[in-house]
Amino acid sequence: MAWKSIDNLEQIQQLKEESKKQPVLIFKHSTSCSISGMAWNRLQRNWQDKDFEKVSPYILDLLSYREISNAIAEEFAVEHESPQVILVKDGMAYYDNSHMGINYQDIIGQVG
């Protein structure tokens, strides 16, 4: 499996519904930011196939879809950061972190 891309506003409601069955992870990624690149690389290196059974991971390209990023921040009442991870369960954000605070072990620990 692979991380799914967020590329349209309608997906926000789909993510909320999906989070009622399994937690959803949103990674907001700025492709022009070296810190974002490092955080993304660390997540990819540590991500294991079994993690897909615990959480549905999505990635959002901030430069291409800033409007969607703003809508996510508003929908989940989380201040916009870049890079940023947001965990959603039962339609609500319950964990977020940004920059060098993005840590695979913390994310997986939050998922359970």
CATH label of the domain that carries residue 37: 3.40.30.10
Could you give the number of structural domains in the chain?
1
Longest dimension (CA), the chain: 34
Question: Hey, what's the torsion of the CAs at 23, 28, 34, 38, to 10 degrees?
Answer: 10
Cβ neighbours, 10 Å, residue 42:
14
Which of 104, 27, 99, 32 minimizes the C-alpha distance to 68? Answer: 27
pLDDT for 19-49, tens place per residue?
999 999 999 999 999 999 999 999 999 999 9
CB 87 within 8 A of CB 93: yes
Q: Do 78 and 18 contact (CB within 8 A), yes or no? A: no
Sites in the chain below the pLDDT cut of 70 = 1
Name the residue range of residue 31's domain: 4-111
